[in-house]
A and B are shown apart, each in its own frame.
Chain A
């Protein structure tokens, strides 16, 4: 089991979109995929094709310290299993989760997933206890940015970045000169921690609107090619440096 958390301190940076797209990318590579939606906005299932709300019990089991709550995943036509916190409010949740930072990790352990399963976690905008849970459970966090001034300013404030984190610029638009320049600056700042960007591409939104797998909807579109490469790169990162350290631990 390899766990990837998609996190970001910016709203609308594409966490949900990219989680869904990456889930499809890994599924296409023949990996069993479990997509977790920790965002109470509950959008990931929709992005992955769910048409009706569904309570999988994830939120309940996060708060339930006894560990007896049953989980109940749904599965889409690409074979991606989905667990979401749903939009039922648990007012006690933040406090409990803050107290038990590795709740999610324990839950995932107990699931007894196959070795080659990829778990992708969509999170609410940081700062958020859910995002913290996701990062604590993850073998690898992907921190999303945009090539804009806000990102650059935030990044300057948050350095140094935690371990096991790679940075990713989404919605990159090279037709804007400023974006290209900021991209160059971010690259200079982050070096090898910065992944190749995902370009802004209408085809990605269109595929979600059309409720289709983006890789089938527009296979030659720029963002899809970027995602293919990103998926390869993440698998490589998961197998090379990061994972052995955690197995030892």
Chain B
């Protein structure tokens, strides 16, 4: 009986390929839907045997480690081999290596003088040069502004000359090599001088490229080719503009120190702390309020207010029990801005500190920020970074939390600090202190746009107030939970910024300096990146499908112009932002958001009055890992198009366009890059499971366990949530599960003890659950954890520095994984559909 045979051989197969890791959902799904016999039309035994052989060979040759995971197959096909200790060393390429040995030697010989040179450069002390530059910069800005203006003009002129000088492709190539080689040497040197030189190179390279594109490559055929060509060049102009503005904004971070307060607390200003909430759970709000109440500030000068637009009785009672002011209003006009304005009218402190209800301040927040108001009487705003202790959707779904700087790291690490140099730091809605008198002067928080924060800051700057950015993490909060909520938030920002661009454009109007205008404009223009990104994601398709030559130039010429443009910008980016944004991640982040912010930003630009205020969902729970099909549709469409384009392109390479191989190759490379970025975007859309109700925050502080029998054992906490603590142990603990134990945490010199129960125990870790926490206990717990002054000071310190190539490798890996997710989810979906169909057929037949 062939069927029985097939069954037994399948049984063997399923045994041999048995799910190696039953915790992986994808494998589980695979096994669930693929292996059972009912799901498959039985193959003839012969075919089955052939397939089995083939599969075994493929597995061996490609080095697939887990043959039942589509992801591994894709990774294997892309030749991404995770190093496994038992992998046999391949002997086939050994002769090749031997062959390349002499070539390698020659290369090394050529590199030798370069190495000597760079070793020489390493020995130079660049400190004096840097200091001279600093003092010169101070001189020109403070004493002789005229010199500064003259320098700006002459640099612009020089740049214009450099950008517009025609060069033959050969000469342009030489320029490329020269700049690139110099940059590779320069980037190893510390200090601002090399940075400025690298910025100069990048400006020259990019401006040359844009000039060349505008003057020599737009000779297009009318029709679709023309439209696409112009579209592309506009998108490129946009990136060029953003690049230049970004350099102005970022090249020189201010790194403002903390202004110390006078030693007499009687002279310190009084502060109202506003905690805005709409519908967030009490468990989210509580830590913030408790932390705000224990801020280090004279108690008679600190007034904590809960601004509840949800008007909840539960919250009112809580506020009363802890001694916070509870403020509500009769309507919800103008959302958060309206809420804040109403609270302004109900309070009277000199300063106003604003926190979103899920941003927990550390105890030193006011001490580190308020000093600037005293030092600079015109100061109306002090902003601190937003730090997130939970992973955002990118970090969670790609598993990069703590390894790759997240999307906001760049903004708070570099951009705001750069803005600060030009007195253009803007308010970010939370973790900031504002001066009441200034707010009253401008008529309260701005209500006209969705981004009331930036708009308020713009108003303040227009009225001659100054701002300060203190780059010390003094508060931390929850990141957006899911991709849809993340996208929704970004859509709101994009819309709000576009509205501001229309209603209160920083480029025009009174009261701003040129550089303030530039900084604001750049922050707004940044949100128009959606459309250009979509153009880049689809541009090569015009050629691959229809043979439109939307850049009228030879591929090699394009290469010598575009490569320095891309490479120099990437190298500068890596130097200035390396710690806050890894190379190629900007593209990945933008690719995910492009589709969703392109439309709202444009719509708001056309009609700024349209738009609603969305609240971002926080504290959600994802019960099962799933693939968000709805959100990924744009990426899937783009992926399919790009993949089809790639296949067509291969055809062009081999059959149809063999006369312009260069062009085909260039477009293929571009498409491949797009496909990778889209893969990473798809990876983000695969939401991974999030089971914990309360967030586990990594937290390493010393603690002591006190047992009922009098023993006291030292340990270190590993993570914290409002429900319990995880601890790591150096030695096995003589205790049992469900045993009571007290844990002591310290705040300064003082220890606080909390009653807990052991919920899990291994030789190296234990889980504890808090028992019977009183309100006082909860307050102490917050004080010992989130609100410690040093809680987040080293946040991000251990994210590795950018290494561009490694970063590219990582994106490639995520791309592959994303496709793996897509395929396995598609397969699962298909199988369930099929399964249902089959079940239904006999039922209807009998009915």
Q: Do A and B come from one complex?
A: yes
Chain A residues at the B interface, C-beta cutoff of 8 Å: 173-175, 180, 183-184, 187, 199-203, 218-223, 225
Q: Are A174 and B751 in contact (CB under 8 A)?
A: yes
Contact of A222 among B714, B731, B752, B753 (CB under 8 A): B714
Q: Are A221 and B752 in contact (CB under 8 A)?
A: no
Q: Are A174 and B714 in contact (CB under 8 A)?
A: no
Q: Is B459 an interface residue (CB 8 A)?
A: no
Q: Are A175 and B753 in contact (CB under 8 A)?
A: yes
Could you tell me the distance between the alpha carbons of A151 and B192 in the complex, rounded to whole angstroms?
Answer: 59
Q: A11 to chain B: closest CB distance in Å? A: 20
Q: Are B713 and A202 in contact (CB under 8 A)?
A: no
Q: Are A221 and B712 CB-contacts (below 8 A) given A175-B744, A199-B704? A: yes
Contact of B753 among A174, A184, A223 (CB under 8 A): A174
Could you tell me the distance between the alpha carbons of A134 and B731 in the complex, rounded to whole angstroms?
Answer: 39
Within 8 A of A (CB), among B610-629: none
Can you name 19 extra interface pairs (CB under 8 A) apart from A175-B742, A180-B752, A221-B712?
A174-B752, A175-B744, A180-B751, A183-B750, A184-B749, A184-B750, A187-B749, A201-B710, A201-B712, A202-B709, A202-B711, A202-B712, A219-B731, A220-B729, A221-B713, A222-B706, A222-B714, A223-B712, A225-B714
Q: Which residue of A lies closest to B744 (CB)?
A: A174
Within 8 A of A (CB), among B409-460: none
Could you tell me the distance between the alpha carbons of A201 and B742 in the complex, rounded to whole angstroms?
Answer: 13
Q: Are A200 and B712 CB-contacts (below 8 A) given A174-B744, A175-B742, A222-B704? A: yes
Residues of B within 8 A of A175 (CB): 706, 742, 744, 753
Q: When each residue 711-753 of chain B gets 1 if its CB lies under 8 Å from chain A and 0 otherwise, what string results?
A: 1111100000000000001110000000000101000011111
Residues of B within 8 A of A202 (CB): 709-712
Residues of A within 8 A of B749 (CB): 184, 187
Q: Are B731 and A203 in contact (CB under 8 A)?
A: no
Can you name 30 A-B residue pairings with CB atoms under 8 Å?
A173-B706, A174-B744, A174-B752, A175-B742, A180-B751, A180-B752, A183-B750, A184-B749, A184-B750, A199-B704, A200-B712, A201-B710, A201-B711, A201-B712, A202-B709, A202-B710, A202-B711, A203-B711, A203-B712, A220-B714, A220-B729, A220-B731, A221-B712, A221-B713, A221-B714, A222-B704, A222-B706, A222-B713, A223-B712, A225-B714
Residues of B within 8 A of A173 (CB): 706
Residues of A within 8 A of B753 (CB): 174-175
Choose among B706, B712, B731 the residue with the greatest number of A CB atoms under 10 Å from its CB. B712
Residues of B within 8 A of A220 (CB): 713-715, 729-731
Residues of B within 8 A of A219 (CB): 731
Q: Which residue of A lies closest to B730 (CB)?
A: A220
Contact of A200 among B710, B714, B715 (CB under 8 A): B710
Q: B255 to chain A: closest CB distance in Å? A: 33
Could you tell me the distance between the alpha carbons of A201 and B713 in the complex, rounded to whole angstroms?
Answer: 8
**B side interface size, CB within 8 A:** 19
Per DSSP, chain B at the interface is: strand
Residues of B within 8 A of A174 (CB): 704, 706, 744, 751-753
Could you tell me the distance between the alpha carbons of A225 and B730 in the complex, rounded to whole angstroms?
Answer: 13
Residues of A within 8 A of B750 (CB): 180, 183-184
Residues of B within 8 A of A225 (CB): 714
Residues of B within 8 A of A218 (CB): 711
Q: Which residue of B lies closest to A194 (CB)?
A: B749
Could you tell me the distance between the alpha carbons of A220 and B711 in the complex, rounded to whole angstroms?
Answer: 11
Q: Which residue of A lies closest to B711 (CB)?
A: A202
CB-based A-B contact count at 8 angstroms: 50
Q: B815 to chain A: closest CB distance in Å? A: 46
Q: B787 to chain A: closest CB distance in Å? A: 18
Could you tell me the distance between the alpha carbons of A220 and B742 in the complex, rounded to whole angstroms?
Answer: 16
Residues of B within 8 A of A184 (CB): 749-750
Q: A191 to chain B: closest CB distance in Å? A: 11
Residues of A within 8 A of B729 (CB): 220
Residues of A within 8 A of B731 (CB): 219-220
Could you tell me the distance between the alpha carbons of A203 and B709 in the complex, rounded to whole angstroms?
Answer: 10
Could you tell me the distance between the alpha carbons of A108 and B484 in the complex, rounded to whole angstroms?
Answer: 78
Within 8 A of A (CB), among B131-151: none
The 10 A-B pairs of least Cβ separation, nearest first, read A202-B710, A222-B712, A174-B751, A201-B712, A175-B753, A225-B714, A222-B704, A202-B711, A174-B744, A220-B731
Q: B324 to chain A: closest CB distance in Å? A: 24
Residues of A within 8 A of B711 (CB): 201-203, 218, 221
Q: A111 to chain B: closest CB distance in Å? A: 37
Residues of B within 8 A of A180 (CB): 750-752
Residues of A within 8 A of B712 (CB): 199-203, 221-223
Could you tell me the distance between the alpha carbons of A220 and B704 in the complex, rounded to whole angstroms?
Answer: 10
Q: B751 to chain A: closest CB distance in Å? A: 4
Q: Which residue of B lies closest to A176 (CB)?
A: B753
Q: A194 to chain B: closest CB distance in Å? A: 9
Residues of B within 8 A of A199 (CB): 704, 712
Q: B417 to chain A: closest CB distance in Å? A: 38
Choose among A173, A174, A218, A219 the residue with the greatest number of B CB atoms under 10 Å from its CB. A174
Residues of A within 8 A of B744 (CB): 174-175
Residues of A within 8 A of B752 (CB): 174, 180
Could you tell me the distance between the alpha carbons of A188 and B183 in the complex, rounded to whole angstroms?
Answer: 58
Residues of B within 8 A of A187 (CB): 749
Residues of B within 8 A of A183 (CB): 750
Could you tell me the distance between the alpha carbons of A180 and B744 in the complex, rounded to whole angstroms?
Answer: 11
Could you tell me the distance between the alpha carbons of A133 and B141 in the complex, rounded to whole angstroms?
Answer: 70
Choose among A180, A218, A219, A220 the residue with the greatest number of B CB atoms under 10 Å from its CB. A220
Residues of B within 8 A of A221 (CB): 711-714
Could you tell me the distance between the alpha carbons of A187 and B751 in the complex, rounded to whole angstroms?
Answer: 13
Within 8 A of A (CB), among B680-726: 704, 706, 709-715
Q: A179 to chain B: closest CB distance in Å? A: 9
Q: B424 to chain A: closest CB distance in Å? A: 45
Residues of B within 8 A of A222 (CB): 704, 706, 712-714
Could you tell me the distance between the alpha carbons of A180 and B706 in the complex, rounded to whole angstroms?
Answer: 15
Residues of B within 8 A of A200 (CB): 710, 712
Q: A224 to chain B: closest CB distance in Å? A: 8
Q: Which residue of A lies closest to B754 (CB)?
A: A175
Could you tell me the distance between the alpha carbons of A103 and B711 in the complex, rounded to whole angstroms?
Answer: 41
Could you tell me the distance between the alpha carbons of A222 and B742 in the complex, rounded to whole angstroms?
Answer: 13
Could you tell me the distance between the alpha carbons of A225 and B713 in the complex, rounded to whole angstroms?
Answer: 9
Could you tell me the distance between the alpha carbons of A221 and B711 in the complex, rounded to whole angstroms?
Answer: 7
Residues of A within 8 A of B709 (CB): 202
Q: Which residue of B lies closest to A205 (CB)?
A: B710
Q: A4 to chain B: closest CB distance in Å? A: 24
Residues of A within 8 A of B704 (CB): 174, 199, 222
Could you tell me the distance between the alpha carbons of A200 and B711 in the complex, rounded to whole angstroms?
Answer: 8
Q: B713 to chain A: closest CB distance in Å? A: 6
Could you tell me the distance between the alpha carbons of A203 and B751 in the complex, rounded to whole angstroms?
Answer: 20
Could you tell me the distance between the alpha carbons of A243 and B601 in the complex, rounded to whole angstroms?
Answer: 73
Within 8 A of A (CB), among B749-771: 749-753
Q: B298 to chain A: closest CB distance in Å? A: 18
Could you tell me the distance between the alpha carbons of A199 and B753 in the complex, rounded to whole angstroms?
Answer: 13
Could you tell me the distance between the alpha carbons of A220 and B729 in the complex, rounded to whole angstroms?
Answer: 9
Could you tell me the distance between the alpha carbons of A202 and B710 in the complex, rounded to whole angstroms?
Answer: 5
Q: A78 to chain B: closest CB distance in Å? A: 21
Q: Which residue of A lies closest to B710 (CB)?
A: A202
Could you tell me the distance between the alpha carbons of A59 and B729 in the complex, rounded to whole angstroms?
Answer: 47
Q: A38 to chain B: closest CB distance in Å? A: 29
Q: Which residue of A lies closest to B755 (CB)?
A: A175
Q: B741 to chain A: closest CB distance in Å? A: 11
Could you tell me the distance between the alpha carbons of A184 and B748 in the complex, rounded to whole angstroms?
Answer: 11
Q: B834 to chain A: closest CB distance in Å? A: 58
Choose among A187, A199, A222 the residue with the greatest number of B CB atoms under 10 Å from its CB. A222
Residues of A within 8 A of B706 (CB): 173-175, 222
Q: Which residue of B lies closest to A174 (CB)?
A: B751
Could you tell me the distance between the alpha carbons of A183 and B731 in the complex, rounded to whole angstroms?
Answer: 30
Q: Which residue of B lies closest to A219 (CB)?
A: B731
Could you tell me the distance between the alpha carbons of A221 and B731 in the complex, rounded to whole angstroms?
Answer: 10
Q: A173 to chain B: closest CB distance in Å? A: 8
Could you tell me the distance between the alpha carbons of A174 and B747 in the complex, rounded to whole angstroms?
Answer: 13
Q: Which residue of A lies closest to B731 (CB)?
A: A220
